[in-house]
Amino acid sequence: MSSQAIVELKGVNKSYGENHVVKDLNLTINEGEFLSVLGPSGCGKTTTLRMIAGFEQQTSGTILVEGEPVEDKEPFERNVNTVFQSYALFPHMTVYENVAFGLKMKRVARNAIKERVQEALTLVQLEGFEKRLPLQLSGGQKQRVAIARAIINQPRVLLLDEPLGALDLKLRKQMQLELKRLQKRLGITFVYVTHDQEEALTMSDRIAVMHEGILDQLDTPNRIYDFPATRFVADFIGESNIFDGLAEPQEGGTISVVTETGRVLCRGTSGFTAGEQVQLSVRPEKLRFAPEPKEGFELQGTVRENIFVGTFIKSILLLSNGQEVALTSLSGQPIPEVDACCYLFWEPEDAVILHAHSQEVWSTIANVDLSDFTPEASA
Amino acid sequence: MASRSAPTSLRKRIRRKTPLLTMVSPVTVWMVILIAVPLAYVLLISFCSTDESHHIVFAFSVQNYVKLFDPTLLSIYGNSLLIAGLSCLISILVGYPFATIMANSSPFKRTLMMAFLMLPFWTNSLIRLYGWRSILGSNGFINSVLQELGLITQPLELLYNHFAVVLGMVYVLLPFMVLPIYTVILKLDHSLLEAASDLGARPARRFFKVTLPLTSSGIFAGSIMVFIPALGYFFVSNLMGGGTTQLIGNVIARQFKEAFNWPFGAALSIILILITLILVRAYTKTGGKMDDLGAM
């Protein structure tokens, strides 16, 4: 992947009075990538996007677009375009006039405008809609016009603020694929703000997970799913069983963790000291039933429910300390009956171990741009 | 079968609608007495004439409407339209920025500005116009200050001209322009302005391409509410113009108060009402809402 930085945020903070919305954000967006900014509402993701677009001024820090600081540039001077959450189509203009707006502002010749508007409308499959007013369009069509309008100026970066939020599920799925295809075809960098983890996982090259104004993790969808950096990420993306406990590093690179319900095992990286409070995140599909106690595991649960979900069965288990955990197994595999007591385990490398205070630790670590470190360099 | 069920359904309908009728009818009666009957009477007598002792003669004739095309009257219409148009234009030029600033202010400042706009309304407009006379008069505030400063030797003639009438009109009618515009600006979706900036529109172009077209309904509503009264507010032209400026309103007032030719005054009034209706129709045709006109 070409990794020329096109947008860089360096130590960016944004406060509204007492309200610290974005905290020390360091984020490098590479040219041509599809980067999602993912987080629950109020995590600062939209504010971040608006700062890149120029609608909000950061309280401190620097934002670079194409290597140049943009603090002093007004939105109309920035080479980025935005697709707004509510589409923000000009209601008094036809589809054609809406799409042509950006070119008219740049005083492009009339013939060229006509050609490029046609091109853009073809790209979003809206030929023949030129004379309609936004009022006469469906949600999906409005969305397409908004996209055509935003890409007409051929921006280097397209900012999308939950663009599919108002569409129904089926249309949203379809638009996801179309957007991804469009991005590949145009080669424009997409910065895509969403609160929908599934959307982020399916579309993105990389995901930036934000939580309470802090960038928790920036990585590929795969790695974010398999190696969540914080408890929040583990919980927010996909489903996770979280176990609290104390670390006891063992010989041979494994760590035994003493939880309320007994010992469990995981593969440990360095950096965990004996007696340290840790959390383990285990995906439901990694948790397994064992016919007899597994070595290193003292984990037992009672089956509360077995739910048939098509290709797999989801079992809800109650641990002795009252915690509920989820376990999924493929349909057709033998599973214990409801109310049966059974042993549980996982392969040590399938559990992700986290510092219990990882939130604080990571907010300081995040100030160092980790994306520059490769495994080879640190080895 | 339908005919057999008709009487019962009619009775049912009356019973169902009775509560509604009792609620609405007092208002209806009120409106009929205060608005419909007087208007019908005006329309009726506009087709009548008077005898020598100024009594209304109820014999159908269109002579009042023919008299409307008298050359002297035509020049008064022209003058009146000019004054009203000018008042309207100045009200827009003053009222639009005012409404914009008000809509973009903090709630406290908004309340304050609204108070400044509305408080004078609690005083009779005649008294307020007398206030202007004492400012603009030959011994008034402006002239005394300028003379004190030695900038002029003779008092300037600030009163008793078109300028003074237009000033008075703008002063009295400005809130009617500001409020509809303010309402529209307040409702304007801010993301549309952001979208315009995002697409490369500088502030001036953004204003003319997006803001102005989307707030034009407020300007139109305000214009109707300034233009129509400005045709008729004879007391403004009396006080500020001192008889130099004749409006349609002055002519109508004179027919009723001095010439005692009520039928002719009625015909003039009907014309004024027709102009109003045409303008309101044009307003609703172009997408304006009646509610915004009644915002006051």
A/B interface, count of CB pairs below 8 Å? 61
**Residue B58, domain member (yes or no):** no
CA A305 from chain center: how many Å?
31
User: Residue A88 is nearest to which of B191, B200, B202, comparing CB atoms?
Assistant: B191
Distance CA A217, CA A219 (A): 6
* Residuewise pLDDT in 10s, chain A (379 residues): 446 899 999 999 999 988 899 999 999 999 999 999 999 988 999 999 999 999 999 999 999 999 899 988 999 999 899 999 889 999 999 999 999 999 999 999 999 999 999 999 999 999 999 999 999 999 889 999 999 999 999 999 999 999 988 888 888 898 899 999 999 999 999 999 999 988 999 999 999 999 999 999 999 999 999 888 888 899 898 888 999 888 888 877 888 888 888 888 888 777 788 888 888 899 999 998 988 888 888 888 999 989 988 888 999 999 988 889 999 988 888 888 888 888 999 988 888 888 876 444 444 444 444 444 444 433 3
User: Residue B198 is nearest to which of A82, A91, A92, comparing CB atoms?
Assistant: A82
Q: Which residues of chain A are in CATH 2.40.50.140 domains?
A: 239-357
Q: Which residues contact B51 (CB under 8 A, 6 or more apart)?
A: B57
Does B29 contact A at CB distance below 8 Å? no
Residue that the structure tokens 């002239």 belong to: B143
DSSP-based three-state secondary structure for A330: strand
CB contact under 8 A, A90 and B202: no
Interior angle at CA B285, CA B281 and CA B289, nearest 5: 85
Does B210 contact A at CB distance below 8 Å? yes
CB contact under 8 A, A75 and B197: yes
Does B198 contact A at CB distance below 8 Å? yes
The CA distance from B90 to the nearest CA of chain A, in Å, is: 26
Does A106 contact B at CB distance below 8 Å? yes
Instruction: State which fold the A239-357 domain adopts.
Output: OB fold (Dihydrolipoamide Acetyltransferase, E2P) (2.40.50)
Q: Which residues of chain B have pLDDT under 50?
A: 1-3, 295-296
Does A143 contact B at CB distance below 8 Å? no
Considering only residues 264 to 323 of chain A, which have any Cβ-Cβ distance to chain B shorter than 8 Å?
A: none
Distance CA A43, CA A209 (A): 9
CB contact under 8 A, B197 and A101: no
The CA distance from A23 to the nearest CA of chain B, in Å, is: 25
My answer on whether B37 and B89 are in the same domain is no
Alpha helices in chain B (DSSP H): 2-31, 37-45, 63-67, 71-103, 107-118, 125-136, 141-148, 162-187, 190-198, 203-206, 212-232, 234-236, 248-257, 262-285, 290-293
Question: Into how many domains does chain B fold?
Answer: 2
Judge whether A186 and A207 are in contact, CB under 8 Å.
no
DSSP state letters, A251-300? GGGEEEEEETTEEEEEE--S---TT-EEEEEE-TTT-EEESSPPTT--EE
**Residue B57, domain member (yes or no):** no
My answer on whether B39 and B114 are in the same domain is no
Q: Which residues of chain A are in CATH 3.40.50.300 domains?
A: 5-226
* Chain B residue numbers touching A55 (CB-CB < 8 A): 194, 197-198
Residue that the structure tokens 């809130």 belong to: B175
So what's the pLDDT on residue B167?
93
My answer on whether B41 and B67 are in the same domain is no
So what's the pLDDT on residue B294?
57
* Chain B residue numbers touching A54 (CB-CB < 8 A): 197
**Residue B52, domain member (yes or no):** no
So what's the pLDDT on residue A273?
83
CB contact under 8 A, B191 and A105: no
DSSP state letters, A202-232? HH-SEEEEEETTEEEEEE-HHHHHHS-SSHH
> Domain containing B69 — which CATH number?
1.10.3720.10
**Residue B101, domain member (yes or no):** yes
My answer on whether B14 and B116 are in the same domain is no
Does B209 contact A at CB distance below 8 Å? yes
Residue B52 DSSP code:
T
User: Residue B200 is nearest to which of A76, A84, A86, comparing CB atoms?
Assistant: A76
User: Residue A81 is nearest to which of B198, B209, B213, comparing CB atoms?
Assistant: B198
User: Residue B202 is nearest to which of A76, A82, A153, comparing CB atoms?
Assistant: A76
User: Residue A88 is nearest to which of B192, B202, B205, comparing CB atoms?
Assistant: B192
**Chain A residue closest in CA terms to B214:** A92
pLDDT tens digits along A7-59: 999 999 999 988 899 999 999 999 999 999 999 988 999 999 999 999 999 99
> Which residues form the domain of B18?
1-45
* Chain B residue numbers touching A82 (CB-CB < 8 A): 194-195, 198
In angstroms, the Cα distances linking B271 to A11, B249, B252 are 70, 11, 11
Does A81 contact B at CB distance below 8 Å? yes
CB contact under 8 A, B199 and A101: yes
So what's the pLDDT on residue B7?
62
Enter the CATH code of domain A5-226. Answer: 3.40.50.300
